[in-house]
Structure 1
Amino acid sequence: MKRPILLVSFSVLLFLLGPTSASFVHTIFTINSSSPVQLSSLAWDPICKHFVVRSIDSPKVYTVSDSGTANCIISETSLNIIGEFVASVAVDHVHHLLIVAFSNSYIVSAYDLKSYRKVCSMLLPQLNGAPGGVAVDMENGEVFVTSSRRGIVLKVRLDGDGSLILEYKLNDNQGLGGIVHVNDESPYILVMQSTTGKIFKVGSKDGVMKEVLPRGKSNVLAPIGNAIALHNDLSLTVSANRKLLLSLESDGTWTRVSVNVNITVENSDQSIAVKTQEGKKAYALSNQWWKVWLVRHMYDLRMALFCVKAVAEIFFMLSVTYRDMRQIHESKKKKEMRKIRRQAKLMRHAKF
């Protein structure tokens, strides 16, 4: 019997941001898969220019091209017998590695980004639960893995047999989800607590942990948190409670943040993953026909307005300069005409 072809639409939702947002949905391509797939996570490979997604019901990882083709690149068939699936994926384009965290076995593996050959695999029983999220330090290749059950983050190195470098413990023992790494003079990670929506800043070298607090009257940033993605050093996109997308902007130190955009996902759509494309565009993955939304930040809007203003000022200066030059030219022309008339008058008087 021929299997049905699953048509999974990827759509772009362009948000014109304000305290609340108006949205515009545009389908850009459709994925054709020969078998039904349940997708989650969202990573971006800047070298091959495609998304990387995980299966939530099997130990498989897929790439999605801009033409809408879904291609299975990793299938750990040996893990099928224990009901394994992929918990999280991340792309280390600097060291050419694809990081894959598996759910029930507590295994984190690194694959070559070109051949998808397994380079290293490491067992992390300290997680005591499925991994909640994975992030990579692009400078040295260190990998950060959160526990969805415990309030810990493990820093590991996936080379050779793998090695555990450090274990960060948060104040309470609630499970953690999305995580991003920020390369700075003092590098740090931002990690989200799944059940509360709290975001913590943790120094990746010293392990010093501080909660990121909201600015203004709000007491909480999000009711619960699914995933976070770093848009730039000053803003985050957050997928909260599956029906809410937030755009957060930092005060510069990630001590406090403000909620710039509060987007309620309509109908039966649920936001299950977020990711940025080379730090420029943020995308959210919906589980309703697996739509991908483009999420624009207030930062982008301000930059666009700044550019428009700059161009307008240039045109204004050019117009003023042109007007002034025209006035100077007209003034010189009038002076020359008066001089010519005076000379003609003097010549007429000289004849008489």
Structure 2
Amino acid sequence: MAVERPKLALNPPTICVLYLFLFLAPIDARKPHHISFRSPDLYPEAAVWDPSAQHFIVGSLRSRSIHSVSDAGVVDTLISDPSLPPNSTILGLAVTVDGEASIFSRSAAFTSFPVDRDAPYSYCGINGIAYVSRGFLLVVQSNTGKMYKVDVDDGTAKTVLLNRDLPLADGIAVRGDGVILVVSMNMLWFVKSDDNWLEGVVFDGTPLDAERFATSVAVGGGDRAYVLYGYVMEGIKGTRPEGREWFEIEEVRSEKESKEEKVWVYVLLGFGLAYFLFWRFQMKQLVQKINKKQN
């Protein structure tokens, strides 16, 4: 008498293969997160992610206020101070948990590279700043494209040796895996280091929409990189007399990292399929042996 073959829908290898196809394959299909938010004449220059409240916080070029922006684009005013001078702007923002004082540095390293005074934005010097573990800061300089490592105790600074400059670097943020994100109006760079930031490698760069003028980068939920499109230059020059109502915060990915993720997905899918086929072969051999004994 022939032995009935096991039902594939109930066995662990089949479940494993289905899991790989249903849950790993969609990783590649997810679209970048896009947030459009409405706040007339806001022109935000800086954005940070508040992990406790799970929303972004933005300042304003033209209003004396700070606002939160949810994933759905809902804007709420957190602080508004009419007592400030009418021309006040809120550019830099930070979210801290301990309230410690800022560290300032006047290192000669910041003036050790020549600046082309005829180049656009040559007047912009030290700009983005981020705290990195182990007691130091990383800062970027817009008019030289350099990155510096600053000691939080004594303020001494050293140039981080990179494989390329970061022209017009503006905002900077640190991802959970240690990768540094640096944004300019037209590019988001991905930088990493294996020697505690004595040297670094710019391993990828994602082009941005220069017209929307990105000025800030933040690491949001899920360790995802977001850039703020605040149309700041439009706000500074006043080229839109009627003002602007809508602004954007967009997730930006590294193409190189996305390709690597795809490779791992395909490897896992291939492994699952190979395991399933091997199991099928083994089961077939087992059934044939049992049938021979029965006959």
1: distance between equivalents of 2:177 and 2:110? 27
* 1:71 maps onto 2:76 in alignment: yes
Higher share of residues assigned strand: 1
2: distance between equivalents of 1:170 and 1:69? 44
Q: Match for residue 172 of structure 1? A: 110
Say if 2:173 and 2:218, in contact at 8 Å, map to a contact too.
Answer: yes
Q: Match for residue 259 of structure 1? A: 202
Shift of 1:208: 4.9
2: distance between equivalents of 1:141 and 1:194? 27
Higher RCO, 1 vs 2 (CA within 8 Å, ≥6 residues apart): 2
Pairwise mapping of residues 233-252 of structure 1 onto structure 2 (< 5 A)?
A: 233-240=177-184, 242-251=185-194
Q: Match for residue 327 of structure 1? A: 285
Say if 2:36 and 2:247, in contact at 8 Å, map to a contact too.
Answer: no
Q: Match for residue 49 of structure 1? A: 54
**2:274 pairs with one of 316, 333, 338:** 316
User: Structure 1 203/40 Cα, relative in aligned 2: closer, same or farther at 3 Å?
Assistant: same
Shift of 1:25: 7.7
Say if 2:58 and 2:66, in contact at 8 Å, map to a contact too.
Answer: yes
Q: Match for residue 165 of structure 2? A: 221
Structure 2 residues not aligned, in runs of 5+:
1-30, 112-123, 232-245
1: distance between equivalents of 2:152 and 2:264? 35
Say if 1:51 and 1:63, in contact at 8 Å, map to a contact too.
Answer: yes
Say if 2:173 and 2:181, in contact at 8 Å, map to a contact too.
Answer: yes
Q: Match for residue 84 of structure 1? A: 88
Shift of 1:198: 0.8
User: Structure 1 73/195 Cα, relative in aligned 2: closer, same or farther at 3 Å?
Assistant: same
User: Structure 1 243/30 Cα, relative in aligned 2: closer, same or farther at 3 Å?
Assistant: closer
User: Structure 1 210/315 Cα, relative in aligned 2: closer, same or farther at 3 Å?
Assistant: farther
**Larger deviation, residues 315-324 vs 203-212:** 203-212
Higher share of residues assigned helix: 2
User: Structure 1 332/209 Cα, relative in aligned 2: closer, same or farther at 3 Å?
Assistant: farther
Question: Which structure is larger by alpha-carbon Rg, 1 or 2?
Answer: 1
Q: TM-score, normalization: structure 2? A: 0.70
User: Structure 1 38/267 Cα, relative in aligned 2: closer, same or farther at 3 Å?
Assistant: closer
User: Structure 1 237/267 Cα, relative in aligned 2: closer, same or farther at 3 Å?
Assistant: closer
Shift of 1:227: 0.8
Return the letter of the residue paired with 2:168.
I
Return the letter of the residue paired with 1:181.
Y
Aligned-residue identity in percent: 26
2: distance between equivalents of 1:267 and 1:200? 25
SS at the partner of 1:201? strand
1:297-328 deviation digits (Å, cap 9, x = unpaired): 34455345324423431332233133123223
1: distance between equivalents of 2:273 and 2:36? 43
Return the letter of the residue paired with 2:76.
N
1:191-240 deviation digits (Å, cap 9, x = unpaired): 1112112111223345453322223xxxx321221111112343122112
2: distance between equivalents of 1:29 and 1:251? 34
1: distance between equivalents of 2:99 and 2:284? 62
* 1:295 maps onto 2:243 in alignment: no
1:178-198 deviation digits (Å, cap 9, x = unpaired): 111122xx3321111121121
Matched residue count: 239
1: distance between equivalents of 2:156 and 2:194? 19
* 1:61 maps onto 2:61 in alignment: no
Structure 1 residues not aligned, in runs of 5+:
1-23, 96-139, 145-152, 155-166, 341-352
User: Where in structure 1 do 4 or more consecutive aligned residues deviate above 6 Å?
Assistant: none
Return the letter of the residue paired with 2:207.
T
SS at the partner of 1:315? helix
SS at the partner of 2:92? strand
Shift of 1:275: 0.6
SS at the partner of 1:202? strand
2: distance between equivalents of 1:310 and 1:182? 34
CA RMSD, 1 decimal: 2.9
Say if 2:58 and 2:67, in contact at 8 Å, map to a contact too.
Answer: yes
Say if 1:178 and 1:191, in contact at 8 Å, map to a contact too.
Answer: yes
